[in-house]
Homo-oligomer: A and B are copies of this chain.
Amino acid sequence: MAIKKVGSQTVKFANPPSIISSGTIVGPKEGQGPLKDYFDMILTDDTYGEKSWEKAECKMFQDSVNLALKKASLNISDIDYLIGGDLLNQIITSSFAARQFNVPTFGLYGACSTMAEGLSIASMLIDGGFADHIVVTTSSHFSTAERQYRFPLEQGVQRPFTSQWTVTGSGSSLLSSNGTGPYITHVTTGKVVDLGMKDANNMGAAMAPAAADTILTHFNDTGFTIDDYDLIITGDMARVGKSILMELLRKEGMNIENKYKDCGIEIYDESQDVHSGGSGAGCSAVVLNGWLLQQIKSGIYNRVLFIATGALLSPTSTQQGESIPGIAHAVTISNYA
């Protein structure tokens, strides 16, 4: 077994990469939420002056990359790889955004787990000696997701209370082999888990078993205890998924309640009528790269387990009666290397 492997699904970095800068841009609704002061840019119009929501999402993706580069005083030519993904069919947001950047590009699809998937692969590429600088970017957009996955917005379909609200936003992390933290010290890569949930309006429930599996594996692989972390934060379990996840972990003897938050709950106020909470590949990306990294840098949380979760369904799989597989990837972000 390779020397950097810890347990069955976790790797520990010999020279942990640093997140040296980040960029975030969000839509108007996210810009009215409790984390509004932590985002770099807030759109006043979710078309962002473009002719389609898809083009607007693409522009947001580009801007979040550029914001991260600017804050680090780097140019795109300093970047070894751009690693990104989004929720649209054929990840057109990422691919069309990457046209503007003259840089080697890896496209990912992990649904809402993509930010953690990208951070995992990027960290391995840097620690492995293949790159000094990598930008990891994901995005989502309420209006592009809604019409692709569900119904035309004009139809005004009523949303059940278990449903989540896709975050309009894009977040980028700029990772470097040479930095002073926050460091990515461990990653635990998830398996695809499917317990048979079929309700596409209740993705928190579909993703909770995958999140529980990855969290339990992470602690088992590393030997860490809850006390080793100041915060355990999932990507977009939202309220329904959060309680199921806590219950699943409790059954395994693990109580995370006092240290647990979810990006999909943090990003909106309950008054914003988002039902269970936020979701989308952009949700964990903007919360991590906006609010969370600033909390880590200021020492409020010194060591965080960031777990992004994905529901791997498609409208076609749902129409064919399939259940919803979930996946979760965990990344340890710490002020200590």
Contacts and interface: CB of A to CB of B under 8 A. Distances in A.
B314 A90 contact: yes
Contacts of A92: 312-314, 316-317, 322
A194 interface: yes
Contact of A54 (B125, B128, B191, B317): B317
Given A314-B89, A317-B92, A191 B104 contact: yes
A247 to B, nearest CB: 23
B106 A117 contact: yes
B191 A312 contact: no
A49 interface: no
A16 to B, nearest CB: 13
Total copies of the chain: 2
A161 interface: no
A125 B4 CA distance: 11
Given A105-B190, A314-B89, A320-B54, A131 B5 contact: yes
A108 interface: yes
Interface string A308-325: 000011111100101001
A93 to B, nearest CB: 10
Contacts of A193: 99
Contacts of A192: 95, 98-99, 101, 105
Interface string A103-114: 111111111000
Contacts of A55: 320
22 contacts: A2-B130, A4-B129, A5-B80, A14-B129, A89-B89, A91-B109, A92-B312, A92-B313, A95-B312, A95-B327, A96-B325, A98-B191, A98-B192, A99-B325, A105-B192, A105-B327, A106-B108, A106-B110, A107-B109, A107-B110, A124-B124, A128-B130
